[in-house]
Amino acid sequence: MILAGDVGGTKVDLALYDFINGKLQYTRDKVYRAKDYPGLQVIVKEFLGADQVTAACFGVPGPVRDGRLRLTNLPWTIDSRELSAGLGIQHVFLMNDIEANGYGVAELTSEQIYTLSEGDSSQTGNRALIAAGTGLGQGLLIWNGRTHTPYPSEGGHADYAPRNEDEIDLLRFLKEKYNGRVSFERVVAGQGLTNIYEFLREVRGMEEPAWLTELFSKAHDPNSVITEMALAARSEICQKALDMFVSAYGAEAGNLALKVLAVGGLYVGGGIAPRIIEKLKDGAFMKAFTDKGRLSQLLINMPVRVILESRAALLGAAAYAEARAAEISGVSARAASIKA
């Protein structure tokens, strides 16, 4: 069996996979609250119990250097060599979480993807992956003539680029709030939706009704309240916040697609997109995505697809673990599972 992990600042999602006729087959998974444990190794031991695995891969938030990463939101240092020795797993790999999502794309079925725009599906070439969740992940899927190889990026931390008067004033608001520089992640991520809402309330003077204030007081996550009220058309300020969020998301997706020259298409991943899929369908995202002046037609021709599968990063980590272990050992669990 293959162990896959998606490690975040607040939770760790682990899953076991096997192969049936060349396809990854989910066995079981469990989500752990990261702050309840002193490190990843303890969590993995608890999860595995008596199960034996041949290889493992963990998607982690941030750049991996020489098989090692120090998390920014947890007092953990994760080292693939230490995990291998401590867990008794011969092959252990670490990769950036958006890179894991990139490897997961090849494992998805048509039912796990929603196509926002068909574009020109006859084109082959690079692809791009953007994923808004707690943060804003961005990745490159580079075409080498045979397959797409994922590469991580920290493009979500690039400077926020406003496009209209509302966004220019939003930038000013966020510069004051964060005492300086503003990245795209401050706008296009979970906290970004709340930031936009606060801007509309405090700078644009849009009304927050008493019933909405009460909802916020009881909610653990204000983003979920804003999203729910916007999609239900119950609050003007929430609708406007989500409109601005989706437009900014589409614009930055288009920026990434230009930089990668993603003629093979753009994939929208992360936890937010499936929850607002009906909003993504209304055209605001695609209008901002393709609004690139003289190069608009290039963007119009790019297919745009939303990843609906929440386990995409786990699928990618499992696929990578098996492939790399097979390269090293000469034994492929995927190939062995294919019936003659």
Query: pLDDT tens digits for the chain (340 residues)?
Result: 999 999 987 889 999 999 988 899 999 999 999 999 999 999 999 999 989 999 999 999 888 999 999 987 788 999 999 999 999 999 999 999 999 999 999 999 999 999 999 999 899 999 999 999 888 999 999 999 999 999 999 999 999 999 999 999 999 999 999 999 999 999 999 899 999 999 999 999 999 999 999 999 999 899 999 999 999 999 999 999 999 999 999 999 999 999 999 999 999 999 999 999 999 999 999 999 999 999 999 999 999 999 999 999 999 999 999 999 999 999 888 888 987 5
Q: What is the Cβ-side half-sphere exposure of residue 338, based on CA atoms within 13 angstroms?
A: 6
φ, ψ (nearest 5 deg) of residue 13: -105, 120
User: Do 62 and 69 meet the contact criterion of CB atoms below 8 Å apart?
Assistant: yes
Alpha-carbon distance of 80 to 60, in angstroms, equals 12
Note whether 99 and 238 are within 8 A (CB).
Answer: no
Tell me whether residue 340 is exposed, middle or buried, using C-beta atoms within 10 angstroms of its C-beta: 0 to 12, 13 to 18, 19 or more: exposed
DSSP secondary-structure letter at 160? P
Homologous superfamily (CATH) of 2-104+311-336 is ATPase, nucleotide binding domain (3.30.420.40)
Q: Which CATH class is domain 110-308?
A: alpha beta
Domain ranges of the chain: 2-104+311-336, 110-308
Q: In angstroms, rounded to a whole number, what is the distance separating the alpha carbons of residues 236 and 125?
A: 41
CA quadruple 309, 314, 320, 326: dihedral sign: negative
